[in-house]
Amino acid sequence: MDWLDIREFLLDSIKYIVIIFIIMFVIFYVASITQVVGDSMNPTLKNGEVFILNKMKYRFSEVRRGDIISLQYADTKYLIKRVIGLPGEKVEIKNSQLYINDKQYKEDYLPDDLVYDDFSLKTLGYESIPKDTYLVLGDNRKNSLDSREIGLIKKKDINGKISFRFWPVYRIQFIS
């Protein structure tokens, strides 16, 4: 083996190493793929659907009401939920109607005939949502592990925003 062969091998290796680092950077910091497991987000998201998770979204913008997010729960479990309550807000559910700061809030993504249990932040020990903390709910309010059971979510536990559904193919769409 001569020097030219070794040099060529090293240059080729460096190209592959750089490509691997770029891919790892994208997966860890920019975007990743996530899948819905379970029925807690029905009818909006269905079990088995696959999405692109935008991990950079909340580094440059604030979490907004209605955003569908992935969050870390119990060290190894990830949940997909909708942001309902923002810091400083008072949230309550009475007679299957959502109230934010004592004003009724219409949730267009839910069926009109959906009936689910009452809820108040007071059951979690709060008058209003603390800074850098959010209340999240699943769209299937009857069958969802969400803030009503696990408590409020800290901003640091949000992995990113669900941005694009690419599986199944017939339901491809950007998620706003």
| Dihedral angle sign, alpha carbons of residues 141, 145, 85, 166 | negative
Q: Which of 72, 76, 42, 90 is nearest to 160 (CA)?
A: 72
HSE-CB at 115 with a 13 A cutoff on CA atoms is 0
Looking at this protein, which amino acid is placed at residue 110? L
Q: Which two tokens stand for residue 158?
A: 């949000």
40 is catalytic: yes
Catalytic-labelled residue, pool 70, 81, 144, 161: 81
Tokens encoding 73: 């729960």
Enumerate the active-site residues.
Answer: 40, 81
